[in-house]
Amino acid sequence: MALARAERGELVLSAAGATDVGKERDHNEDVVLVRVDLHLYVVADGAGGHAAGDVAARLAVGSIEDYFSTTVKAAHSAAEFDQCGLPTGARRLSAAIHRANREVIKMSRSSKHHRGMGTTVVAACFSPRSGLLHIGHVGDSRCYRQRGGHLELLTKDHSLLTEVLEQRPDVDDSVLLQLPQNVVTRALGMDERVRVSIRSLAVVEHDRYLLCSDGLSAVVEASLIAEALAETADPQAAVARLIDLANQAGGPDNIAAVVIDCRGGGHEQALPASSHSRAAPRVDVQDEADPELLILGIEEIDTRGRLDGDDLIRAVGELLGKRPR
């Protein structure tokens, strides 16, 4: 069990995290990280490759932690928002998870014992200057927020069922019932290119956040999670209570949980991150009838080489020039 506190101005964050093997597994492949000094919190749920899921999870968490440790100075000197209005803390978190993915893939290719290993991850980092919590995830490990007595799921599982909902909502129920319920469509170690879902949220006084693996969320009803978070004041006790609930429900999987409390600051109302941002620079393209909405995939931009700002603008301009008239 890890417990830490950090103060910056009036806002105080306290957090605790723990894992448990559960009732049916013989080894633990879940890993948690609580580094309040780095304002960083992570849960990873490893799987696959001759019981090397724990290796993947530890490697991913260690890589993210190392990235944050080595970029502290740069993060402190950087503006809270870049020239396009993107939170630099969110970009830092995404970069850390992408780096972790590369590390897991590298390890999985180095030995047959590690082949096929991977891990889901959910991570949160706090930016004291802006009061924003940045959340990044890959897979079905989750982040919840309890605010004003209401529990809200902040992440969306990267699962087969979610893919069906997004792409094939007309599929017959009989087909859906035959689909496996626990298949993830994204994980670190699956592919060299990974899509990391990122969002930034304003933190207010009395917020409580939960990061967890599916060993908790898949077996404990949301109402019971909300009740445990509401009735247990101390983060460490809340983590212990949540793990007990998962084990009482049979503990079919490893269990991981991190609870983050936000106290002080005096702010009861959250503002959207966009209220701090600046408008993105316009890319001028010669066209007498520019469309109101332009759909452009970033995959179409070749960024394999080292592009400076002018190169990237030129690449976008070339793509825009190729669109149908």
What is the token pair recorded at 234? 């101390």
Tell me which CATH code domain 2-270 carries.
Answer: 3.60.40.10
Strands 255-263 and 118-127: unpaired
What's the predicted TM-score (pTM) here? 0.83
On average, the pLDDT of the chain sits at 85
Rounded distance between C-alpha atoms, residue 193 and residue 184, angstroms: 16
Q: How many CB atoms lie within 10 A of CB 259?
A: 30
pLDDT band of residue 102 (cuts 50, 70, 90) is: very high
Query: pLDDT by residue (tens digit) across 32-66?
Result: 999 999 999 999 999 875 568 999 999 999 999 99
Q: What angle is formed at CA 212 by the lines to CA 211 and CA 217, rounded to 5 degrees?
A: 130
Q: Which residues contact 129 (CB under 8 A, 6 or more apart)?
A: 80
Q: What angle is formed at CA 281 by the lines to CA 275 and CA 284, rounded to 5 degrees?
A: 145
Say if residue 134's pLDDT is above 70.
yes
Domain map of the chain by residue range? 2-270, 282-325
Q: Is 9 left (phi over 0), alpha (psi -120 to 50) or beta?
A: left
